[in-house]
Structure formats: C-alpha cells, structure tokens
Chain A
Amino acid sequence: MALLTVETLTLATADTVLVEDLSFTIAPGERFGLIGESGSGKSLTSLAVTGLLPRAITPSGRIVLDGTEVIGASERALGALRGRAVATVFQEPLTALDPLMPLGRQIAGPVRRRLKRTGEASAAAVTAEVRKLTDQVRLPDPERLLGAYPHEVSGGQRQRVAIAMALACRPKLLIADEPTTALDVTTQAEIVTLLLDLVRDEGIALLFISHDLGVVGQVAERVMVMRNGRAVESGPAGQVLTAPRDDYTRSLVAAARRFDDALEGRP
C-alpha cells in the first residue's frame, strides 16, 4: 500500500495550466526526489499534497495521503492530516519561523499538540520531548539556542529547528522543498546527512524537492524530473541520473556533470 498516491493531478488557475497530468506514488519509508527548474511546478505539487494550494489554483485528479483523499477534503480533515501524516521543511527557514518567538517555544508548539492527542501534555513531558528532538537534529548548544530568536542563529541552525518542528508531529511523510538551497555548501552537506539519518532511523518517507541533481542523487532512491508542469522522466535515481532517456533530463545531467568534471580537473 502506497503512503502517497498522486493520480493524474492537474493544477490550474483561471487562465493557465500549471501542472498537468502528474502521477506518482511514494511507499512508506521511501525516499522520492522531485527534480525541476524554476517554473516546473515541483513546489506547487508539494503544496497540493498538503492541501495548502493558494485559493486561485484549482486542483483536479486524485491525491491520497495515508488513506485520506486530499482534494476536496475539509479544512478540518486537512488540519488533522497535517498534524499526523505529513510535515514540510521549506527552503528559507527564516520566513517559515515566527520571528518574534524563541526557537524552543516554536518547537514546543507541535509537540504539545501531539501530546494532547495522546493525553499527556504536561510541561515536563513537553520539555523532555523538545530536548529529545533537539538532540535528534543535533542542534549544538541547545540551552542557548532554544532561548534565541530566529534571526540570532545561523541558517543551518534555523533549518535544524525547522526539521525538529517537522519531526515533532511524527509524520509518515516528510516533504523537504529545496531545504538546502539557501545554505552554504558545507552546511548543506550536514543538513543532507541529518535528513537522511532521520528518515532512515524513524522510517519516515521523504519527498525531496530540488533543482540540484547532485543533492537529489545523494538523497533519493527514486526520482521524477518535471518540466513546465509535466513529468518528463522517472525511475530509480541511479538510472535517471546516469543514463537519462529524455532529452531534457539528458541536458540537465550533462550540465551537472560539466561542473563535476571541472572539479575533477577534467575540462
């Protein structure tokens, strides 16, 4: 049974089709990569999965996430779904975090909501859970950072906090939308390793969205390449990234290899 099934998904505004006839599935615990350049519709697809599309965009087709139909679901049902089945980490944690709230309290929010559902949301239990999460995301110097505000810490630390918040509701699917694009390359490597370890350890499925073929290659088992709202190629990551069949994928792979080759000193 697939955790996420997307069937013939089409997203359109009144006068433009943004995503057309998109189908894919993600199995529990699977790491799926969505590759695309700007305007490919990859981020809109992730918003559709969580039911967070802007009002002006109308979805059609089917999205089934953890047994729940997403398209046409009530806001209430979607809220419950986002609480237990899916969480998202965005590109720029500075805009995803509340600038006026200390980081510790931001992590405590989703933790408290989950514990309330199971009926043991005491202050001590919340604090213990927050500490567990900060350990999991390897947040250094948690004493100090949990009391700090988002603008006071580095981009990498903010992304760790955002990941901790995403994990707080114990999702079955983690969506990471360009989670490392705003980060320095050395920080990016750390965050990618962290994400990989977490989804492996917790058995969480990962929908990893990126324009960076190298990063997707490190993260995903299966990939789909999108262009102008359509899927042009999909398959095992090793196959698509080493022996692409579609012309567009081939040009992307060639471009990425060009810079890789330069780093190896091959002209």
Chain B
Amino acid sequence: MSAVTRSRPRSNPVHWLGYGLVGIVVLFGVVSFFWTPYALSDMAGGRLEPPSAAHWAGTDRLGRDLFTQLMIGARIALVVGCGAVLIGGVIGIVTGVLAAFATRVADDALAAVFDILIAFPTLLIAMLVVAAREEASLGTAILALGIGLSPIVGRITRILTKRVLSKDYITAARVSGTGWGSIVFWHVLPNIAPFLGVNLALQFGLAVMAEASLSYLGLGAPPPNASWGRMLQEAQGTVYTAPWGALLPGLALFALVIGINLLADGLRDRFDPQRRDG
C-alpha cells in the first residue's frame, strides 16, 4: 500500500572487512603455490623460536618455519572449502531439486533422509568415510566433508525450489511450452541462486572448521601437509612455552571463517533486495 521506494543497498564497512579477510587468505594460499619463505619440511631454525625477522611466525618443535606452514595451511583450507562445497553443492542441489519435483511420497521420503543425515554430526560422517577409505588423505577429507554437507544443501534447495515452483511464472512457462528441464535451468536455478549462494558460503566456513577438526583428530591430510588443524594439534603440547604456535593457526582459522560469514552477509544484501519479487 505504501509508496516506499526501495533504497539502494549501501555497502556496509563490515562486509568490506569480510572481503578483506577472505582476500588475504586467498592471497597467501595462491602465493604459497609459487613461493614460501622456506620449504615446508626444511628445519631451518632452532626449536620453538619466537617470531623474528628470519621466521615471521616463529618455528615449531622441529625447527620448521611456521609462516610457511600457515601459508600452506591457507591453501589447504581453501582447497578443502572449495572442494567440499563443490561436492556437497552438486549432490545437494541435484537431490534437492529432484525432491521438490518428486511425487508426494518420494518427496516426503527424501525430506526425511535429509533430516536424518543432518542429525548425524558432519564430523561423524566424515570419520566414517575416512574409515571406509582406510586411509586419511586430503581427498578423503574433502569427499567426506562434501558428503556431510550435501543434506544441508539438499534440504534448503528443496524448500527454495518449492517456493519458486509455486510462482505463476512457472505456470506461465509451462503454458508457453517450456519443458521441465528448461524450467529448472532457466527459471528455478536463477531464482534460488542468490539464496543458495549465501548458504554455500556459510557451508564453506563450516567445511573449513570441520577440516581443522578432522586434522586435529589426525583424520585429515597426513603430514607433511600443514593444515591449520594439524598445526593446532602439534602445538598443543607446547602451548605454554611457545603460545604463538597454537595462537597463529587459531587466529587464521578464525579470520577465514568470520570473513566468509561476513562475505555471505554481503552477498545476501547485494542480491536479495533487487531481485525481490512482490
């Protein structure tokens, strides 16, 4: 009833903080492919040295450079996050869309499966996958986390798809002769993408956290891969004598997850109001 003109979404400084934090982690991760201060397993310094000009983040128990490990850790966190979201996203979106289109009985069944799988802790699913593969590797961790995330993505996709399917433009498309495949591709996916994108960004953060937990438990990428979770685990014995060893990977993890969440908020603000339809 009111003549409220929609105000343009203003760019929020908090969101820029999110883009910045994620940007820094991505930068370090990418650079680590080409350059690190030292080689990963190079015992270049003394044991448990504090941060210095030679070792910006200090060294670990074996005298290896911690800054190098942090950079490699950023790379691993990003690879795990992207991989898990890709696997979880594909499985989740496909099953979610199928559930939304399925007959009543099949839909109810799929919805129940999603709920049961979501009730399983992601970490437990991941441990089962690692156990089934009988070997902990980066690929196993990514696969495990992706499978763990897929029901969450599936459930939200199903709900979003159902909401879109109830719109008149779907009926209009059918009356225009558009087949179901094209309806999914041209009408459903573009309209659930903004919401789904935000959700996937949040899942990315969760996957990074879960990978750190897996590594901490020794179920993640095996040494010498320097995942932040593994760094935390290795530093826990020396947390009183050399606190930076635990503090820095912890902070890095915190920064990435906070950054991702702020970025997701920013994405939502950017895509939500303009595309709002009614």
Contacts and interface: CB of A to CB of B under 8 A. Distances in A.
Direct touching of A and B (C-beta under 8 Å): yes
Interface in B1-58: 1-5, 7
A204 interface: no
Contacts of A99: none
B3 A228 contact: yes
B2 A41 contact: yes
Majority secondary structure of chain B interface residues (helix, strand, loop or mixed) = loop
Interface in A24-74: 38-44
Interface residues of B, number: 6
Interface stretch (A13-21, A131-139, A195-203): A13-21
B5 A43 contact: no
Interface centre among B1, B3, B4, B7 (most CB of A within 10 A): B1
Contacts of B2: 18, 39, 41, 43-44
A195 B2 CA distance: 26
A188 to B, nearest CB: 19
B3 A15 contact: no
A251 to B, nearest CB: 19
A229 interface: yes
A43 B3 CA distance: 11
A179 to B, nearest CB: 14
A1 B17 CA distance: 59
B1 A16 contact: no
A39 B5 contact: no
A54 to B, nearest CB: 9
A41 B3 contact: yes
B278 to A, nearest CB: 13
A229 B3 CA distance: 8
B1 A39 contact: yes
A68 B75 CA distance: 67
B128 to A, nearest CB: 41
B1 A15 contact: no
Contacts of B4: 13, 16, 18
3 tightest A-B CB contacts, nearest first: A39-B3, A43-B1, A16-B5
Given A16-B5, A39-B2, A41-B3, 9 more contacts: A14-B7, A15-B5, A15-B7, A18-B3, A18-B4, A39-B1, A39-B3, A43-B1, A229-B3
Interface of B: 1-5, 7
20 contacts: A15-B5, A16-B3, A16-B4, A16-B5, A18-B2, A18-B3, A18-B4, A38-B1, A39-B1, A39-B2, A39-B3, A40-B3, A41-B2, A41-B3, A42-B1, A43-B1, A43-B2, A44-B2, A228-B3, A229-B3
